[in-house]
């Protein structure tokens, strides 16, 4: 039986499923916008979706909001303002709430970021991917180097508390030097946060059917190490496999995911995870994926495409799968707080991991070791339920 004394922090994820054009590597729930965007209908749907979930979390405050996609910055500042006003009227925002919006440099015009900021967005995350015109072209991006730099400059000056740049490495025909140049250009734009993802070829993408030539594993490793030490030299502290931040600028929303916190998910295909104190259980749920289907169903129960209650084994494994991505691991007491079970539930696997030198374990904290990070999949396998 689970035993939750207190509930974990609660975040809100809002999905915006449209983009100007679908990138050939992307397997997110994002769809090329073929007709005019009916902003009003989608914002109404989001509000209606949220309203039906309110009884599930009465009395709990929201610690962070993340508007992701897709491309939320396709929406006008007026629509985002209306959405945030509706959220404020229905939810209790934590005083230091972090509110992030993802933006694509190809959807930015001067003044727009300032208006998003005035509406209440306090953190921006820009999908740069690369600063090389040649690489951007091979990634099918709708913007070039100039627009990418311009977007970061506008974000810098728009009044946000902080902003993030997303970069990818391991790009078609990319050299180590080119990957480092992208990092250096990014750092010169002074973002407080940088996400550095290895390009992965996902099933059901154009690249899966027509794979580009990408660097081999040895080169990828060298590339990642070179970029990481360059970032470290400039005080960007790596706190997760792909996430780097200046001190105290870690993304609170993603940290809550990685610490197995709770989150509501509204919008097409959005996932949620909630701890229910009265029933002492954890559930996951997900909304219908296709944007038009979601619009049709948002006002009814049928907006929920599926849900499940986690078993003790699922909850323990999912916790480990998330927290071991963090360089600093987790405080041992967090296991009881967020999984509702004693740490002894995973003691056998933890001992095996310690024997193999994959974790450091003291009374207060458990963290992955350097080898543990390098062989993360092997480490996580130890926690897979029998």
Ligand X SMILES: C[S@@+](CC[C@H](N)C(=O)[O-])C[C@H]1O[C@@H](n2cnc3c(N)ncnc32)[C@H](O)[C@@H]1O
Residues at the contact surface with ligand X, assessed by CB under 6 A: 25-26, 28, 68-69, 71, 102, 104, 127, 129, 166, 168, 197, 199-200, 202
Q: How far is the CB of 25 from ligand SF4 (least distance, A)?
A: 7
Q: Which is nearer to ligand SF4, 33 or 176 (CB)?
A: 33
Stretch that binds ligand SF4, among 40-48, 69-77, 183-191, 317-325 (CB under 6 A): 69-77
Q: Which is nearer to ligand SF4, 294 or 319 (CB)?
A: 294
Instruction: Confirm if 279 and 268 have CB atoms less than 8 A apart.
Output: no
Q: Which is nearer to ligand X, 248 or 377 (CB)?
A: 377
The reply to whether 136 sits near ligand SF4 by the rule CB under 6 A is no
The reply to whether 23 sits near ligand SF4 by the rule CB under 6 A is yes
Which of ligand X, ligand SF4, none is residue 22 near (CB under 5 to 8 Å by kind)?
ligand SF4
Burial of 54 (0-12, 13-18, 19+ CB in 10 A): exposed
**Binders of ligand SF4 in range 35-64 (CB under 6 A):** none
Q: How far is the CB of 258 from ligand SF4 (least distance, A)?
A: 21
Query: Any idea what the Cα angle at residue 49 is, between residues 46 and 53, rounded to 5°?
Result: 135
272: which strand partners? 285
Q: How far is the CB of 18 from ligand SF4 (least distance, A)?
A: 8
Give the single-character DSSP code of 326: B
- Written as one string, the DSSP assignment of 253-312 is HHHHHHTT-EEEEESTT-EEEEEETTTTEEEEEEE--SHHHHHHHTTSGGGEEEEEEPPH
Q: How far is the CB of 323 from ligand SF4 (least distance, A)?
A: 27
Residue 235: CB atoms within 10 A of its CB come to 11
Which secondary structure element, helix H or strand E, spans residue 169, and what is its range? strand 162-169
- Written as one string, the DSSP assignment of 83-114 is HHHHHHHHSEEEEEEEEEEEE-GGG--TTHHH
Contact residue for ligand SF4 among 11, 30, 224, 254 (CB under 6 A): 30
Q: How far is the CB of 28 from ligand SF4 (least distance, A)?
A: 5
Which of ligand SF4, ligand X, none is residue 202 near (CB under 5 to 8 Å by kind)?
ligand X
**Binders of ligand SF4 in range 102-121 (CB under 6 A):** 104
| Buried-exposed string 266-293: b where 16+ CB fall within 10 A, e elsewhere | bbbbbebbbbbeeeebbbbbebbeebeb
Residue 172: CB atoms within 10 A of its CB come to 17
The reply to whether 70 sits near ligand SF4 by the rule CB under 6 A is yes
Name the closest residue to ligand X (Cβ): 127
Q: Which is nearer to ligand X, 227 or 346 (CB)?
A: 227
Q: Which is nearer to ligand SF4, 87 or 168 (CB)?
A: 168
Which of ligand X, ligand SF4, none is residue 265 near (CB under 5 to 8 Å by kind)?
none
Which secondary structure element, helix H or strand E, spans residue 31, and what is its range? strand 31-32
Q: Which is nearer to ligand X, 26 or 226 (CB)?
A: 26
**Residue 280 phi, psi dihedral angles, 5° rounding:** 50, 60
Stretch that binds ligand SF4, among 68-76, 219-227, 262-270, 318-326 (CB under 6 A): 68-76
Stretch that binds ligand SF4, among 25-33, 253-261, 283-291, 295-303 (CB under 6 A): 25-33
The reply to whether 26 sits near ligand SF4 by the rule CB under 6 A is yes
Greatest Cα-to-Cα distance within the chain, rounded to the nearest angstrom: 58
Residue 382: CB atoms within 10 A of its CB come to 17
Contact residue for ligand SF4 among 11, 63, 64, 71 (CB under 6 A): 71
Length of the chain: 386
Q: Which is nearer to ligand X, 13 or 319 (CB)?
A: 13
Stretch that binds ligand SF4, among 67-75, 82-90, 270-278, 360-368 (CB under 6 A): 67-75
* β-pairing verdict for 281-287 and 304-309: antiparallel
**Token duo for residue 195:** 């996400």
Residues 6+ apart with CB under 8 A from 311: 385
Which of ligand X, ligand SF4, none is residue 166 near (CB under 5 to 8 Å by kind)?
ligand X
Residue 163: name the closest of 70, 251, 69, 75 by CA. 251
Contact set with ligand SF4 (CB under 6 A): 19, 22-23, 26, 28, 30, 69-71, 104, 127
């Amino acid at each position: 039986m689970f035993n939750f004394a207190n509930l974990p922090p609660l975040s809100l994820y809002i999905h915006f499923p449209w983009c100007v054009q679908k990138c050939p590597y992307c397997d997110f729930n994002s769809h090329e916008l073929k007709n005019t965007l009916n902003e009003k209908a989608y914002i109404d749907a989001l509000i209606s979706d949220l309203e039906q979930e309110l009884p599930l979390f009465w009395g709990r405050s929201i610690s962070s909001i993340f508007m992701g996609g897709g491309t939320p910055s396709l929406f006008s500042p007026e629509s985002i303002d209306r959405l945030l006003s509706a959220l404020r009227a229905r939810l209790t925002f934590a005083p230091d709430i972090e509110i992030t919006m993802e933006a694509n440099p190809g959807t930015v015009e001067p003044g727009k970021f300032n208006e998003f900021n005035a509406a209440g967005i306090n953190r921006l995350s820009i999908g740069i991917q690369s600063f090389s015109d040649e690489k951007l072209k091979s990634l099918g991006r709708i913007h070039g180097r100039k627009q990418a730099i311009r977007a970061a400059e506008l974000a810098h000056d728009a009044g946000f508390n902080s902003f993030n740049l997303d970069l990818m490495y391991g790009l078609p025909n990319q050299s180590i030097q080119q990957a480092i140049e992208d990092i250096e250009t990014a750092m010169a734009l002074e973002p407080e946060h940088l996400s550095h993802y290895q390009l992965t070829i996902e099933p059901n993408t154009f690249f899966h059917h027509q794979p580009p030539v990408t660097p081999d594993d040895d080169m990828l490793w060298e590339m990642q190490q070179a970029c990481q030490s360059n970032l470290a030299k400039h005080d960007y502290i790596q706190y997760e496999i792909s996430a780097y931040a200046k001190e105290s600028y870690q993304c609170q929303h993603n940290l809550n995911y990685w610490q197995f916190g709770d989150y509501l998910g509204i919008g097409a295909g959005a996932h949620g995870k909630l701890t229910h104190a009265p029933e002492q259980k954890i559930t996951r749920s997900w909304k219908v994926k296709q944007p038009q289907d979601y619009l049709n169903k948002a006002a009814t129960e049928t907006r929920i495409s599926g849900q499940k209650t986690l078993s003790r084994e699922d909850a323990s494994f999912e916790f480990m799968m998330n927290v071991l991505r963090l360089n600093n691991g987790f405080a041992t007491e967090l296991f009881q707080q967020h999984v509702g079970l004693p740490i002894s539930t995973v003691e056998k696997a933890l001992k095996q991991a310690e024997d193999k030198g994959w974790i450091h374990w003291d009374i207060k904290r458990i963290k992955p070791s350097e080898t543990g990070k390098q062989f993360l999949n092997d480490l996580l396998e130890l926690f897979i339920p029998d």
